[in-house]
């Protein structure tokens, strides 16, 4: 970092994949992104995941050792200049928090566990930024545990899917102990076709101008095709068939005699090839080019606001609100008051500076979406909202951000059973509780759902668990008994959680009580 000039800035993105961990470092100079270095380490994380979805200590240690090496390269980077995303294996591992907490001791930057559709969106973004623009693109990324398939135009993904099939998981499932036969190869390919069965028609109907393959499997297939004498490296069905026949000459995965295929890729190559064969067959792909850009490049371009074409999360929340017929006028009123309370009390909330802006954004999105559960039922709708926001596809949000929004929706009303709160890895529980308090007050004060403006109200935090609602109008509740009853109920909920809520009169400045 000592050579960094005044008009440049270094950023990094790390992809914690199921087979390999990747890091890319770039420099921003005059709004231009220049790649400086790429680093790759095979960690075979997925092979350490057992049938009960427990990640082994050995696999965890391999991952930590790799992160320790990466940490040396970016030790002077600011937190906002580093983005780390974990994919399929850590999505699946039920003990992922064990890995994440230990990883934070090794590399002190937040690690996001991203949903499959978010992984797909970022992969597409990485390809789109590193390829000449086409009318429309198909992108296929076969990873260790999942396969992402995306159609988009320009920088906008339009059809996005993430399927649970990858070169590591399919190796373990179909090529036990490395045994390779024509039968188990086509059995693996057929299983992949079945995964694609319900979406292939939609992709073929939409169509694309150019197809790209990204990440390790596509790269290995491209290199093997070059080894077969096709110097352009373009992947076609005929060339795949030739490559399959070359592979089937071996009886074991480690005995593959394929030019340009590295020894460490051999154990998972055939499974990836079977999946690619199925993708070509199902989608009727004529030819595919390899793209160097993938998830890590997508992350890299999103680190710097200069390269964001718009905030996908705005569209996500708007689409979700419309889908569930949210009362947008009411939602915006709640959002406005919650925002006002957050700004008023920011200095008293004791939120960490590095995450204050992000927590503020999550609060506002939760305020807009807290009533999505009404589309299912009025009774217990806050729980329905929490479920929808936890498990629906929300492009632009990582798993923990989605969990925060879901948690805020879950606890925006009724009993505060805080023992039911999930654990967080990027954010702290005590900070999420502060947001819950703000959202609850914004909701209860807007509970009448009428056009009558609220009097001027503010909040004050005398100590962490004691909050006060202050109003300049000392008679504001006299004419609104329903709101008074709602606030008294809310005070009861706070008391049950060990908190205190006061309602007090605050005279206007430069005035005195009569």
Question: Cα(367)–Cα(405) distance, rounded to whole angstroms?
Answer: 9
Residues 6+ apart with CB under 8 A from 365: 313, 317, 405
Going by C-alpha positions, the residue among 85, 101, 74, 97 that lies closest to residue 17 is 85
pLDDT at 207: 95
- Looking at per-residue pLDDT, the higher value among 512 and 205 belongs to 205
In angstroms, what is the C-alpha Rg of the chain? 26
pTM of the predicted protein model: 0.76
Question: Cα(265)–Cα(296) distance, rounded to whole angstroms?
Answer: 20
Question: Cα(248)–Cα(464) distance, rounded to whole angstroms?
Answer: 67
Alpha-helical segments (H) within 107-248: 116-130, 167-174, 182-196, 200-206, 215-227, 237-247
312 close to 395: Cβ distance less than 8 angstroms: yes
Question: Cα(160)–Cα(447) distance, rounded to whole angstroms?
Answer: 38
Question: Cα(269)–Cα(292) distance, rounded to whole angstroms?
Answer: 18
Question: Cα(140)–Cα(163) distance, rounded to whole angstroms?
Answer: 11
Return the structure tokens found at 144: 């260790």
Question: Cα(391)–Cα(76) distance, rounded to whole angstroms?
Answer: 36
pLDDT at 509: 61
CATH architecture of 323-505: Orthogonal Bundle (1.10)
Question: Cα(5)–Cα(127) distance, rounded to whole angstroms?
Answer: 29
How many C-beta atoms lie closer than 10 Å to residue 190's C-beta?
14
pLDDT in tens, 68-94: 999 999 998 998 899 999 999 999 999
With cut-offs at 50, 70 and 90, classify the pLDDT of residue 1.
very low
HSE on the CB side for 156, CA within 13 Å? 7
Give residue 276's Cα distance to chain centre. 25
pLDDT at 413: 95
pLDDT for 164 beyond 90: yes
Over residues 251-261, mean pLDDT: 94
- Cα dihedral across residues 470, 472, 473, 475: positive or negative: positive
With cut-offs at 50, 70 and 90, classify the pLDDT of residue 184.
very high
Question: Cα(139)–Cα(124) distance, rounded to whole angstroms?
Answer: 7
pLDDT in tens, 378-387: 999 999 999 9
What phi-psi label fits residue 453: left (phi over 0), alpha (psi between -120 and 50 degrees) or beta?
Answer: beta
Instruction: Report in angstroms the alpha-carbon separations of 318 from 311, 326, 328, 331, 494.
Output: 12, 10, 9, 11, 31
Over residues 286-292, mean pLDDT: 93
pLDDT at 3: 45
pLDDT at 309: 40
pLDDT at 142: 96
CATH 3.90.1150.10, applies to 8-114:
no
pLDDT at 447: 87
pLDDT at 394: 85
Share of the chain above pLDDT 90, in %: 69
Residues 6+ apart with CB under 8 A from 391: none
At 418, which helix (H) or strand (E)?
Answer: none
Over residues 17-37, mean pLDDT: 85
Topology agreement, domain 8-114 and domain 117-292: yes
Question: Cα(140)–Cα(162) distance, rounded to whole angstroms?
Answer: 10
Over residues 247-264, mean pLDDT: 94
Question: Cα(39)–Cα(288) distance, rounded to whole angstroms?
Answer: 25
Instruction: Report in angstroms the alpha-carbon separations of 427 from 15, 250, 317, 433.
Output: 20, 50, 21, 11
pLDDT at 357: 86
How many C-beta atoms lie closer than 10 Å to residue 399's C-beta?
21
Of 27-31, 141-145, 215-219, 337-341, the one with minimum mean pLDDT is 27-31
Over residues 474-498, mean pLDDT: 87
With cut-offs at 50, 70 and 90, classify the pLDDT of residue 514.
very low
pLDDT for 257 beyond 90: yes
Boundaries of every domain in the chain? 8-114, 117-292, 323-505
Over residues 56-78, mean pLDDT: 95
pLDDT for 218 beyond 80: yes
Of 151-160, 174-183, 294-303, 475-484, the one with minimum mean pLDDT is 475-484
pLDDT in tens, 407-423: 999 999 999 999 999 98
Question: Cα(454)–Cα(409) distance, rounded to whole angstroms?
Answer: 23
With cut-offs at 50, 70 and 90, classify the pLDDT of residue 30.
low
Over residues 297-318, mean pLDDT: 73
With cut-offs at 50, 70 and 90, classify the pLDDT of residue 307.
low
CATH 3.90.1010.10, applies to 117-292:
no
DSSP helix/strand/coil, 396: coil
What angle is formed at CA 93 by the lines to CA 127 and CA 97, rounded to 5 degrees?
A: 100
* Mean of per-residue pLDDT scores for the chain: 90
DSSP state for residue 309 in the 8-state scheme:
S
What phi-psi label fits residue 367: left (phi over 0), alpha (psi between -120 and 50 degrees) or beta?
Answer: alpha
pLDDT for 511 beyond 80: no
What angle is formed at CA 480 by the lines to CA 474 and CA 484, rounded to 5 degrees?
A: 80
pLDDT for 310 beyond 80: no
């Amino acid at each position: 970092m000592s050579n960094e000039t005044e008009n440049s800035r270094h950023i990094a993105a790390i992809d914690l994949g199921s087979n390999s961990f990747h890091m890319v470092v770039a420099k921003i100079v005059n709004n231009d992104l220049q790649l400086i270095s790429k680093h790759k380490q095979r960690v075979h994380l997925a092979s350490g995941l057992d049938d009960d979805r427990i990640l082994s200590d050995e696999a965890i240690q391999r991952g930590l050792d790799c992160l320790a090496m990466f940490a040396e390269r970016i030790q002077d980077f600011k937190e906002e200049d580093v983005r780390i995303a974990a994919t399929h294996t850590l999505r699946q591992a039920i003990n992922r928090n064990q890995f994440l907490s230990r990883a934070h001791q090794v590399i002190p930057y937040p690690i996001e566990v991203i949903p499959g559709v978010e992984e797909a969106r970022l992969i597409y973004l990485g390809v789109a930024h590193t390829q000449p623009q086409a009318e429309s693109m198909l992108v296929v990324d076969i990873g260790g545990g999942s396969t992402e398939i995306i159609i988009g135009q320009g920088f906008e993904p339009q059809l996005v899917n993430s399927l649970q099939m990858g070169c590591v998981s399919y190796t373990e499932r179909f090529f036990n102990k490395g045994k390779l036969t024509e039968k188990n190869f086509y059995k693996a390919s057929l299983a992949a076709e079945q995964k694609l069965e319900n979406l292939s028609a939609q992709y073929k109907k939409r169509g694309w101008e150019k197809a790209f393959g990204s990440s390790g499997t596509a790269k290995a297939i491209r290199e093997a095709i070059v080894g077969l004498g096709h110097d352009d490296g373009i992947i076609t069905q005929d060339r795949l068939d030739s490559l399959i026949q070359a592979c089937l000459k071996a009886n074991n995965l480690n005995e593959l005699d394929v030019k340009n295929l590295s020894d460490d890729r051999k154990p998972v190559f055939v499974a990836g090839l079977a999946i690619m064969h199925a993708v070509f067959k199902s989608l009727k792909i004529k030819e595919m080019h390899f793209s160097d850009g993938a998830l890590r490049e997508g992350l890299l371009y999103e680190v710097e606001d200069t390269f964001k074409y718009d905030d996908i999360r705005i569209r996500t929340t708007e689409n979700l609100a419309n889908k569930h017929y949210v009362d947008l006028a009411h939602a915006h009123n709640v959002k406005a008051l919650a925002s006002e309370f957050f700004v008023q009390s920011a200095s008293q909330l004791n939120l960490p500076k590095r995450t204050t802006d992000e927590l503020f954004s999550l609060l506002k999105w939760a305020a807009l979406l807290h009533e999505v559960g009404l589309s299912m039922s009025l009774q217990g709708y806050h729980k329905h909202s929490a479920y929808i926001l936890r498990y629906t596809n929300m492009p632009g949000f990582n798993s923990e951000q989605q969990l925060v929004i879901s948690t805020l929706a879950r606890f925006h009303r009724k009993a505060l059973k805080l023992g039911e709160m999930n654990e967080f890895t990027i954010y702290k529980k005590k900070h999420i509780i502060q947001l819950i308090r703000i959202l609850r007050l914004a909701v209860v004060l807007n509970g009448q759902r009428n056009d009558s403006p609220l009097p001027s109200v503010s909040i004050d935090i005398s100590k962490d668990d004691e909050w006060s609602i202050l109003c300049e109008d000392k008679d504001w509740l006299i004419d609104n008994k329903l709101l008074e009853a709602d606030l008294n109920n809310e005070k009861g909920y706070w008391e049950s959680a060990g908190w205190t809520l006061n309602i007090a009169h605050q005279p206007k400045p430069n005035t005195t009580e009569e």
